[in-house]
Structure 1
Amino acid sequence: MRANNLLEVQDLWVRFRTPTGMVDAVRGVSFNLAREKLGIVGESGSGKSQTGRAILGLNGPSAEVSAERLDFTGIDLLHASKRQLRELRGGRITMVMQDPKFSLNPVLT
């Protein structure tokens, strides 16, 4: 991990098991995030939320998440324990969901 990167995502894939087979929701996403804010934009169904959920370890049981590297401040997020992920979420890493009506409520922020 480079010293200035907080988050490194390399070749991230998120797949879901369905009755008819596997469906790719995220295909080979890669990016590095230093001490800055990142906004991921795209069309509906392009995998934005699934990318964020994969980083936070919040994909459902039917999801298969793989990556060459998924690292936050030296912590391998793919192999982090549930406890480690809980300690990271909200305090050190978070995601604003795409529905601003509920995500950006000034009364709650």
Structure 2
Amino acid sequence: MSPLYSGTETSPLTGILRDMIEKTVERAIRFETYMSLCLYHETYGYYRTSTKKIGREGDFYTSSYVETSMGECLAAYMLSYWSECSGSSAGPLHVVEWGEEKESLQPIRWMP
């Protein structure tokens, strides 16, 4: 058991989930529904709260938070691939970075 959670506390989301389960004939909900509510509930979902998710004070680290080398390697590969496939005749290379908050590829400005 986590030292932060003794098993006796409940959050408002626990009550929402309990009510939802009790209203079903099977007294169960799909795992997909459970995870969706836990992560994305408009008020109590994990990704809807303002607490820090990634980094030393957060819940986990990702490679982009350790240092910039992952982004630099990825950018170098993308530039090489773009040059081999089409070169500058294809126009600019558009890169979309998705993830939590940090935008580690954004500072890389030498890409076309």
Q: Same fold (TM over 0.5)?
A: no
Task: Determine which structure has the larger helix proportion and give its number.
Answer: 2
- What is the TM-score with the length of structure 2 in the denominator? 0.26
Give 1 or 2 for the bigger CA radius of gyration.
2
Could you say which structure has the higher strand fraction? 1
TM-score by length of 1: 0.26
